[in-house]
Amino acid sequence: MAKAIKAALILLGLFCVDSVHSQICGDNCLGCHHGGCTECIYGWYGTDCTEECQGCWYDKCEQEDGRCVQCPPGYHSNDCDVRCSLNCHASYDGNRYCDRDTGRCLEGCVLGRWGHQCDKVCARNCGQSSCHQDVGTCLLGCIDGWFGQLCDTPCPENCLENRCNQLRGYCGHCNPAFSGRTCNIPCTNCIDNVCTYNEFLSSVNCTKGCIKGWRNEDCLTRCSNTCADERCNKDGSCKTCRNGYSGAKCTERCEDECLLCEQKSGLCTKWRETIDIDETNDGQNSISQGCVTRSQSLWALLLVTICCVFH
């Protein structure tokens, strides 16, 4: 019986204390000390927690001045009465979240926009219209024909399909007849206009060889004009010589009366006869000269024969 009376007295005491607390600090206090509220329940602020929070997310505000701890989705500013930019990227729940103090879009911008509040337009040459929220640099490369962080510099004109590296503008491949990182080295006198450029040696190499009349790796040196049909090897040696010439580079003349001679040895393989069509003279003149030479030889032979008979 004594224990029951003691428990009842304790409960009565607690009830009285709670009643006194409510009368001193008010119903909106979560904590009371010396007659003052130490913490307010959600939705209230002030020394006695008698001021109601306005426009705050979950009605939570600072006890001292009523400033919202966080604004509702889609709003910012001290009073949470300014809408977040409509260019803020919407979150999974469909709301646009932005910083309470600055209004900065917290989940990025919609495509084509950048800036803290996504109020700036991405460069028009950004791939898929995507750029960095803070600095505006293109995130997914550039559209064909442009390079640079803002995709504002045109690719070199001889890049194949007008495509180049975003950072440095180097071409992946070149249009026919050009080579080099930026396709500014012409493939001059190359077969099929195909060549490569060696940056270390600063030289061009015609990978399929040279067109007729040219030689060396870069095909910029002419073949000798004594090479037959202007055809020669990379080292300048002729494939064959013109009539009347011999030697590796066809720089040696055949003997005076020799029409054709071996290229390597210089030995004559065909002597000039009655009809000698010389490449440097008119054909008719050569024929006439041949006939005169033959006529003179016959007369001389006839005179010698007559002299011998009479002797």
Tell me: the pLDDT tens digits for 255-289? 888 888 999 888 998 888 744 444 444 444 433 34
Q: 85, 94 in Cβ contact below 8 A? A: no
Q: What pLDDT is stored for residue 70 in this prediction?
A: 87
What are 260's two structure tokens? Answer: 């054709």
**Span 39-47, mean pLDDT?**
89
Q: What pLDDT is stored for residue 58 in this prediction?
A: 86
Q: What pLDDT is stored for residue 302 in this prediction?
A: 52
Residue 201 — pLDDT band, cuts 50, 70, 90? confident
Q: Which helix (H) or strand (E) holds 14?
A: helix 2-25
Q: What pLDDT is stored for residue 259 in this prediction?
A: 84
43: left (phi over 0), alpha (psi -120 to 50) or beta: left
% of the chain with per-residue pLDDT over 70: 80
69: left (phi over 0), alpha (psi -120 to 50) or beta: alpha
Q: What pLDDT is stored for residue 27 in this prediction?
A: 85
Q: What pLDDT is stored for residue 200 in this prediction?
A: 85
**Span 113-130, mean pLDDT?**
96
Tell me: the pLDDT tens digits for 130-171? 999 999 999 999 999 999 999 999 999 999 999 999 999 999
Tell me: the pLDDT tens digits for 81-120? 999 999 999 999 999 999 988 999 999 999 999 999 999 9
Distances (CA, A) of 74 to 81, 111, 115, 130, 168: 10, 19, 17, 23, 41
Cα 53 to the chain's mean position, in Å?
A: 56
Distances (CA, A) of 281 to 14, 45, 129, 274, 292: 139, 118, 74, 15, 16
CB 244: neighbour CB atoms within 10 A?
Answer: 20
Residue 221 — pLDDT band, cuts 50, 70, 90? very high
* pTM, full prediction: 0.59
| Single-letter amino acid code for the residue at 166 | Q
Q: What pLDDT is stored for residue 306 in this prediction?
A: 57
What are 116's two structure tokens? Answer: 């803290």
Q: What pLDDT is stored for residue 223 in this prediction?
A: 93
* Chain mean pLDDT for the chain: 82
Dihedral (Cα; 242, 248, 251, 257), 10-degree rounding: -60
CB 114: neighbour CB atoms within 10 A?
Answer: 25
